[in-house]
């Protein structure tokens, strides 16, 4: 359980940083608030997924969701490869 919480903590820090880069324009949030939102949302999502699917899925599924969100928003901003 301790390793699971540490894994969620590290992933939450990464998610907060990625959230900062995904949102276009000027942000009124400080970096601490952004990372805090990433941590809280990651912990909630991680524990909900752990109850439903188990520990491994709770660590892997949020990363897949984050990757999908990145591709979605980067494509809308013109940062990802264009569709042919």
Res 10 pLDDT > 60 = yes
- Domains of the chain, by residue range, sit at 31-76
pLDDT at 43 (0 to 100): 82
The predicted structure's pLDDT at residue 3 = 86
pLDDT in tens, 13-26: 887 777 777 766 67
**Which has more pLDDT, 9 or 31?**
9
User: Predicted confidence band at 52 (pLDDT cuts at 50, 70, 90)?
Assistant: confident
Q: Is 37 exposed, middle or buried (0-12, 13-18, 19+ CB in 10 A)?
A: middle
Q: Shortest CA distance to 15 belongs to which of 62, 54, 51, 53? A: 62
Report the C-alpha gap between 10 and 14 in whole angstroms: 6
How far is it, in rounded angstroms, from Cα 50 to Cα 34? 24
């Amino acid at each position: 359980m301790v390793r699971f919480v540490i894994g969620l903590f590290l992933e939450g820090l990464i998610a907060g940083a990625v959230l900062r880069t995904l949102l276009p324009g000027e942000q009124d949030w400080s970096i601490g608030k952004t990372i805090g939102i990433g941590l809280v949302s990651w912990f909630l999502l991680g524990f909900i997924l752990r109850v439903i699917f188990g520990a491994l899925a709770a660590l892997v599924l949020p990363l897949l969701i984050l990757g999908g969100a990145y591709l979605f928003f980067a494509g809308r901003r013109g940062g990802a490869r264009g569709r042919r």
